């Protein structure tokens, strides 16, 4: 099993995440949905060693968030960023695993803090993107 699939399964099983989690590509556009979802992608290797046989990869975690919507699908609040950051806390608690509670891997650590960007062409939607170094 590859690290992206392992990461997706870890997040899907977590009670801390509570949103759909997908591997490698977005299932649909987020704007106009009022929802949240996560996409996990492989971002390449993070180190090499001639004496080390562990697979060491960086996974990129993209959290897409739209604002809350009313019954007519109009924006109820401009709160996509607030919702995204609140949801990110659960993802980070699962993947920044200092206690080594993730039995399938040797280590999983936050590589950098997530960046927040407005999604081009999508009003009231944001993307948080961060990276984690995972070794199996």
Parse the chain into domains and list their residue ranges.
13-135
The pLDDT, as a whole number, for residue 48 is 58
CATH 2.60.40, applies to 13-135: no
List the one residue out of 90, 95, 124 whose CA is nearest residue 110.
95
In the predicted model, residues of the chain with pLDDT beneath 50 are none
The pLDDT, as a whole number, for residue 50 is 54
The pLDDT, as a whole number, for residue 54 is 66
Residue bearing tokens 């993802």: 91
The pLDDT, as a whole number, for residue 103 is 78
The pLDDT, as a whole number, for residue 123 is 86
pLDDT (tens digit per residue) in 14-49: 999 999 999 999 999 999 999 999 999 999 887 655
List the one residue out of 55, 29, 30 whose CA is nearest residue 136.
55
- State how far the Cα of 36 lies from the Cα of 68, in Å rounded to an integer: 10
- State how far the Cα of 133 lies from the Cα of 96, in Å rounded to an integer: 9
Over its C-alpha atoms, the chain yields an Rg (Å, rounded) of 16
The pLDDT, as a whole number, for residue 33 is 94
Residue bearing tokens 């046989």: 53
Cβ contact 131:61 at 8 Å: yes
């Amino acid at each position: 099993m590859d690290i992206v699939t392992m990461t997706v399964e870890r997040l899907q099983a977590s009670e801390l995440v509570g949103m759909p989690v997908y591997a490698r590509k977005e299932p649909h556009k987020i704007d106009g949905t009022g929802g949240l979802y996560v996409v996990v992608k492989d971002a390449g290797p993070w180190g090499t060693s001639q004496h080390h046989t562990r697979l060491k990869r960086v996974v990129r975690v993209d959290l897409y968030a739209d604002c809350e919507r009313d019954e007519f699908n109009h924006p109820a609040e401009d709160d996509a960023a607030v919702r995204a950051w609140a949801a990110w806390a659960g993802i980070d608690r699962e993947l920044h695993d200092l206690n080594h509670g993730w039995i399938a891997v040797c280590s999983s650590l936050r590589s950098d803090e997530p960046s927040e960007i407005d999604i081009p062409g999508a009003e009231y939607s944001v993307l948080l993107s961060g990276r984690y170094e995972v070794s199996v």
